[in-house]
Amino acid sequence: MHAPTHRERDHLRFLACGAVDDGKSTLIGRLMAETGSIPDDQLANLVHLSKKFGTTGGNLDYALLLDGLEAEREQGITIDVAYRYFGTPKRAFIVADTPGHEQYTRNMVTGASNAEFAMLLVDAKAGLTKQTLRHSRILSLLGIRRILLAVNKMDLVDCAEAPFAAITEDFRKFVSQLSFDQVDAIPIVARDGDNIVHPSKRMPWYKGPTVLAHLETVPVSTHQREEAARFHVQSVMRTDTGGRGYAGYVSSGAFKKGDQIIVARSGRKSTISRIYVYPSEIDSVETGQAATIELADQVDIGRGDIFAPVDAVPEVADQFAAHVVWLNDNPMLPGRTYSLRIGTHTVAATITALKYGTDIETGEHAAVSTLAINDIGFCNLATTEPIAFDPYAKNRETGAFILVDRQTGATSGAGMADFPLYRASNLVKQNYEIDKGYRAKMKGQRAAVVWFTGLPSAGKSTVLNLVEQKLSRRGIHTYALDGDNLRLGLNRDLGFTEADRVENVRRAGEVARLMVDAGLVVLCAFVSPFRNERRSVRERHDAGEFIEVFVDTPLATCEARDPKGLYAKARAGKAFHVTGIDSPYEPPEHPEIHLRTETGTPDAMAEQVIADLARMGIIAR
C-alpha cells in the first residue's frame, strides 16, 4: 500500500456521501480490496465480521471494513467519519466515508471540508432523495467543484440504462443551479463489483470508465497552490538565537527567507529572517508544513495572527457576512454570542442578522428567524475584535470557521465567510474627555449594573424597588430597567420565543451599558433565562462593574403568587413560552448575590443587597 504524505502531489482527497444505505462503505471497501490495499490480518477479520454482522449472505461484506463502531456494525450504518488510505500505481487516495443519516450531517460537513472531490451515491431504485439534494448543496457550498454521481444497486432495476439515464438527467437539472465545474455519472453495483474496478458485463450499454479509472484520472484540485500564501501563528517562543520565533503552519502557498510579509490584523510589515522545521533551519516552507519563523523586526504578534505577502493581504473586519450550516440540536439564536474559531484564532461572535434560510430542494431564499439543525442560512456576524479572513470562495482554509456553544462546548455551526461588511470599518468609537469615570465622580459614586434574574414572579421587581429607594436615600443616582417596561417601548416588537428572549436581553444589556457610561447605578430586573446572554452582558462591562443577583424562589412559590396569571394560563394550555413551564431557566452558577426569598422578607432581601454592594465597594459602607 502506498501511504500518501502532504508533500506528494499525485494523491486525491475525496469523500463518499449520500443517503443512508446507498452503499458508500461497501463501495469504498471493495475499492480497497480490489486494489490490494487491505492487509491480510484485516482481510481475515473481515471474513469473521461478515459471518457475524454481514448482510451479504455469507459473502464478504465490504462495508464492515469502514463501519468501525460497534453501533455502526449492529445497525449497518455509518455514524462517524472514517478515513481510509489506498492506492494504485497511478495515484494514492485519502477517502472520507461519511454518514448518510440527516442527524449526522455535521460529520459529512467535516469530511467535505477537507476534500477536493466528491463521490455522491444514489440508490438506483430510490432515485434522488432529500438527503441527496442536501449533500449536493453542502458540497457546492463547501467549494467542491468536481463530483461523481455513482448510481448504485443497478441490479435492483435490472441493470437497465433507462433508470440510470433518468436519475442522471434529474441530477444534472438540480445541480445546474449549483457551482460544480464537472459532474460525471457511473452506474454501479458496489456489492458485486460492477463498474468498480472492472467493467460490468451486465451493463454493456455503459461505455465510460469504471469508478477506479475515473478516480485515477480526475484532475486534482490546484486551489491550494493558487491561493495566496497564509501562515497561521499558533504560539510564540524563544529560539536558540534568543530571538522570537512564531510557531505555526502554512495553510496555503509558500514562504521563503527574505520574503517581506505583513501581519494581517496589525498591518505591521517585516521580513522573514529564518525558518525552522525541527531540527533544521531551511530556506522555505509550503502548504501543509508546520514551522517556526523568525522576523527581522520586533513586531507584536500573538496566537491567531496570520502572515501574508504584502501584495495579497486578507480581509480584516469585525463584521462580515457568511453562509452557515447549522449543526446543533439547539437552534441558532440570532443575538446570542458564540465562540468563533477560524484558523488558530478564537473570538466571541454574535449573529447580528439572519438574512435568509435556503431551501435545500429549490435553493430559494426564505425569511426565517432561526436555523434548526442541518439548515443552511446566510447571516451577518459581529466579532468582539477584528479577525483576518479570506472569502471562502478564494481560500477554503482562511474562509472556513466554526461556531461553538459557549455553555456546552458543542460545535454549533460551520461557516463559510463571504465578504466583510465595510460599513463596520467606517465606524470609529469616539472617546470624549468626559467619560463614565468622570460622570460617576461628579455624582460621588461608582457606576455599576445590578442585574436581578429569576423566574417570573420570583420577586425581582419588588426587591429592586426597595433597593432603589434605599440607594436614593443615600444620595445614589440610579435608574431601574424593568423587563415589562422595556417591552412597552424599545422591545415592543419582541415576543417570548427563545430567539426573542435573547434579543430582549441583548438590547437591555446595551441600554444598561449606556447608563453605566452615564455614571449611574443601573438596577435591572429581567427573567433573562439563559446563562449565555447574562454572560454576554457581563462581558460588555469592566471587571467588577456587573453584579448578578439571583432571586432564588421555587417554581411552586412563583406559581402560587402569579400576579399576572401567566403560570395559570400556561398550565391551561392558553399561554406558551412561559419560563419554568415550557421554556427553560438556567440559574446562575456563581452569582455575586444570592437571595433566597423564602428565608426573609423583601425588605430583608433589599438590606442584604445594600450590604453586599457596600462590601464590594459599589457604594459606601
Q: Which residues are annotated as a binding site?
A: 454-461
Question: Which residues define the annotated binding site for ATP?
Answer: 454-461
Distances (CA, A) of 581 to 307, 422, 562, 575: 52, 44, 13, 10
Q: Which of 37, 113, 270, 528 is an active site residue?
A: 528
Are residues 87 and 35 in contact, defined by beta-carbon separation less than 8 angstroms?
yes
Which burial class, exposed, middle or buried, applies to 210 when counting CB atoms under 10 A from its CB (0-12, 13-18, 19+)? Answer: buried
Cell of 594: 444570592
Ramachandran category for residue 126: left, alpha or beta (phi over 0 → left; psi -120 to 50 → alpha): alpha
Q: Is 363 helix (H, G, I), strand (E, B) or coil?
A: coil
- By DSSP bridging, strand 284-286 and strand 244-252 are unpaired
Least Cα distance to 506 among 354, 352, 402 occurs for 352
Are residues 14 and 116 in contact, defined by beta-carbon separation less than 8 angstroms?
yes
Beta-carbon-side half-sphere exposure of residue 340 (alpha carbons within 13 Å): 30
Distances (CA, A) of 583 to 530, 568, 587: 10, 15, 13
Element (H, E) at 377: strand 376-389
Give one DSSP letter per residue of 398-414, joined into a string: HHEEEEE-TTT--EEEE
Are residues 191 and 121 in contact, defined by beta-carbon separation less than 8 angstroms?
no
Query: Residue 81: phi, psi to the nearest 5?
Result: -85, 125
Query: Residue 411: phi, psi to the nearest 5?
Result: -65, 125
Neighbour-count burial for 106-129, b at 16+ CB within 10 Å, e otherwise: bbbbbbbbbbbbbbbbbbbeeebb
Q: Is 301 helix (H, G, I), strand (E, B) or coil?
A: coil
Return d(Cα 294, Cα 518) in angstroms, integer: 47
Neighbours of 427 (CB within 10 A): 9
Cell of 135: 449533500
What residues does 277 pair with on adjacent strands?
280
| Catalytic (active site) residue 528 | yes
Residue 284 one-letter amino acid: S
Catalytic residues: 528
